Amino acid sequence: MLVDDKYEDLGRMFGLFRRVPNGLLLIRDAMTSHLRETCKQLVADPERLKDPVDFVQWLLDEKDKHDKIINLAFNNDKTFQNALNSSFEYFINLNPRSPEFISLFVDDKLRRGLKGVSEEDIEIVLDKVMMLFRYLQEKDVFEKYYKQHLAKRLLSGKTVSDDTSQDTMKAFYAAVGAELAEGPTLAVQVLTTGSWPTQSGTTCNLPPEILGVCNKFRTFYLGTHTGRRLSWQTNMGTADLKATFGKGKKHELNVSTYQMCILMLFNNADQLNYREIEQATEIPAPDLKRCLQSLACVKGKNVLRKDPMSKEIGEDDTFLFNDKFSSKFYKVKIGTVVAQKESEPEKHETRQRMEEDRKQQIEAAIVRIMKARRVLDHNNIVTEATKQLQSRFLPNPVVIKKRIESLIEREFLERDKVDRKLYRYLA
């Protein structure tokens, strides 16, 4: 009946079982067991986890379905609603990538929108996502991914609505309880590192024409502001290139900064192999391969030709300028083949940054506790720190112990001379 949405049958069963002692408990346990088993199978299926957007959409559909069952068949019983919430919290945290998947889902909706629906309808979908967000134990991991995706959307101008993006960020914060010409022309957005998510410091070799303009801006900016440093986030930019193909056909290509660096190499060469491009641009290998795939392997966007022709990029491949390229549009937008999931180095870097952020938050919580209590034993510090931080993440007691040791070394705390498990706050 649950599978086939038999609302009337379920309603009649609810009416009968409520007359029997513990009858509703049997129905509730059956619903919970069915839901948990179904979702366990989803999380354990690697094929279902390949598409983060589909994964989150399935969760939303299941939540809508069971909300409707509880409303229409189970008299909107609060104990059933609590059981449903408990089940969703259980299995959404079975998937360690749920924070990343939910952020990717939000990013997809704010970047591309929903076909045939208004901005108001998008906000309704985002409100439903907020509900999933509240089930997450690692809300800080979601925040890290969401900031990165928001930064990319704003910098590339790919968002349904800036207001919607900002309102969404505010809603997430509220849920957490936290405190968003001639020659080359350059448009620069200066971001403060304290307000924007940190990015990998890897940069590429910019073409001399672009580097000259960048250096002029650097001189101007640092001459206007004192005590500041500038670093270029070349992995976040875009460029518009005017290109002339065979028979004088002209197009304006909208590409990423990395793709621009690759294409401008062909101003001075008819063909280049992979290693030559890699050496000339110093673009990280995973990004370089994705860029070359987009430029040479996507039908209708292949401004380069690849030899041998295949969908994968090999280190022995050769690339040529495709003078036969044509498009019915003057402006041609060439996206980058997107990896739906982070590479292992990227995943390691994100997790490493997360662990560093958590260390600071744990230490801040310990200091607040000790400042108020002055003297406290180890177990109570762990309990109170966990209570303060659980709205964002569940701290590991072993990590809390290490942060206490660090605070002792830096003379924020000291151990009691008699009872070694007792700590004193040092003003």
Q: Which residue has the higher pLDDT, 182 or 360?
A: 360
- CA-CA-CA-CA torsion for 126, 349, 366, 194, nearest 10 degrees? -70
pLDDT tens digits, 203-259: 789 999 898 889 988 888 888 888 888 888 888 888 999 998 888 888 999 999 999
Task: For the beta carbon of residue 236, count every other beta carbon within 10 angstroms.
Answer: 18
Q: CA-to-CA distance for 279 and 104, rounded, in angstroms?
A: 32
The secondary structure of 338-353 as a DSSP string is PPSS--HHHHHHHHHH
47 has a pLDDT exceeding 70: yes
Task: For the beta carbon of residue 327, count every other beta carbon within 10 angstroms.
Answer: 14
pLDDT for 69 = 85
- Partners of residue 306 on adjacent β-strands: 319
Average pLDDT over residues 271-292: 93
321, two tokens: 């300028």
279 has a pLDDT exceeding 90: yes
C-alpha atoms less than 13 angstroms from C-alpha of 79 in its C-beta half-sphere: 10
pLDDT tens digits, 114-124: 555 666 676 77
Average pLDDT over residues 146-150: 81
pLDDT for 145 = 86
Average pLDDT over residues 261-281: 93
* Residue 173 backbone phi and psi in degrees, to 5: -60, -40
pLDDT for 179 = 38
pLDDT for 181 = 40
The secondary structure of 63-84 as a DSSP string is HHHHHHHHHHTSTT-HHHHHHH
pLDDT for 384 = 94
Least confident piece of the model among 71-80, 274-283, 285-294, 378-387: 71-80
Q: CA-to-CA distance for 242 and 256, rounded, in angstroms?
A: 14
Q: How far apart are the first and last CA of the chain?
A: 64
Task: For the beta carbon of residue 132, count every other beta carbon within 10 angstroms.
Answer: 20
Q: Where are the beta strands (DSSP E) in 361-403?
A: 375-377
Res. 361 pLDDT band, cuts 50 70 90:
very high
The secondary structure of 149-184 as a DSSP string is HHHHHHHHT--S-HHHHHHHHHHHHHHHT-----S-
Q: CA-to-CA distance for 394 and 378, rounded, in angstroms?
A: 17
Q: Any residues with CB less than 8 A from the CB of 258 and at least 6 apart, and which?
A: 204, 234, 235, 281, 283, 287, 288, 291, 336
By percentage, how much of the chain surpasses pLDDT 70?
Answer: 86
Nearest to residue 373, comparing CAs of 361, 364, 384, 386?
384
Least confident piece of the model among 163-172, 253-262, 311-320, 376-385: 163-172
Residue 227: strand, helix, or coil: coil
Judge if pTM exceeds 0.75.
no
Strand 250-256 and strand 304-307: pairing? unpaired
Q: CA-to-CA distance for 253 and 235, rounded, in angstroms?
A: 18
- Partners of residue 251 on adjacent β-strands: 243
Task: For the beta carbon of residue 3, count every other beta carbon within 10 angstroms.
Answer: 8
Q: CA-to-CA distance for 321 and 183, rounded, in angstroms?
A: 22
pLDDT tens digits, 283-308: 998 889 999 999 999 888 999 999 99
The C-alpha angle with vertex 397 and arms to 394 and 400, in degrees rounded to 5, equals 95
Cβ atoms of 93 and 136 within 8 Å: the answer is yes
